[in-house]
Amino acid sequence: MSSQTYSISDLARELDITTRAIRFYEEQGLLSPERRGQERIYSPRDKVSLKLILRGKRIGFSLAECRELIELYDPSSGNTKQLHSMLAKIAERREQLEQQLLDIEQMKLELDTAEERCTQALEQTIKSQEAVQ
């Protein structure tokens, strides 16, 4: 890893997120910058962790899942454990999404049925009222 460091504003600008979001992840224990007085100094590892958090959020991982992946970060071993874990989480997330798609399709069918019944009931009510008049 390089010895380059980043300020909170450097990371915010580079990753297009707010400094508030970065501080939130820090409060959650997902980032651990050095402190120089009030200034936060972020390492390349913090930057990688932040990228992993943002990628995880985009694909629906919880912060707990992101934390698990961050804890497995070990570039000296080629991140083998982290990559295997990530692949397992991706497969699990894909399965969840497939189930959600099925649930959505089922709900659409139920909505279609309910709509059809309501339309028929309304038509019958209107015909009955017209017959009485």
Kindly tell me if the per-residue pLDDT of 133 is higher than 80.
Answer: no
Kindly tell me if the per-residue pLDDT of 114 is higher than 60.
Answer: yes
Mapped onto helix, strand or coil, the DSSP state of residue 133 is coil
Q: What is the mean pLDDT of the chain?
A: 93
pLDDT in tens, 27-76: 999 999 999 998 999 999 999 999 999 999 999 999 999 999 999 988 88
Kindly tell me if the per-residue pLDDT of 116 is higher than 70.
Answer: yes
- pLDDT (mean) for 88-106: 96
CA–CA gap between residue 93 and residue 86 (Å, rounded): 10
CA–CA gap between residue 48 and residue 61 (Å, rounded): 16
pLDDT in tens, 20-41: 999 999 999 999 999 999 899 9
Kindly tell me if the per-residue pLDDT of 90 is higher than 90.
Answer: yes
Q: Which of 85, 65, 67 is nearest to 26 (CA)?
A: 67
User: What does the pLDDT read at residue 2?
Assistant: 53
**Residue 82 contacts residue 74 (beta carbons within 8 Å):** yes
Q: How confident is the model at residue 132 (pLDDT cuts 50, 70, 90)?
A: confident
User: E-strand spans in the chain?
Assistant: 34-36, 39-41
**CA angle, residues 55, 97, 111, in degrees to nearest 5:** 135
Least confident stretch, 1-10, 28-37, 82-91, 93-102: 1-10
Q: How far is CA 95 from CA 44, 53, 65, 92, in A?
A: 33, 21, 16, 5
User: What does the pLDDT read at residue 1?
Assistant: 46
- pLDDT (mean) for 101-116: 98
Q: Which amino acid is at 110?
A: E
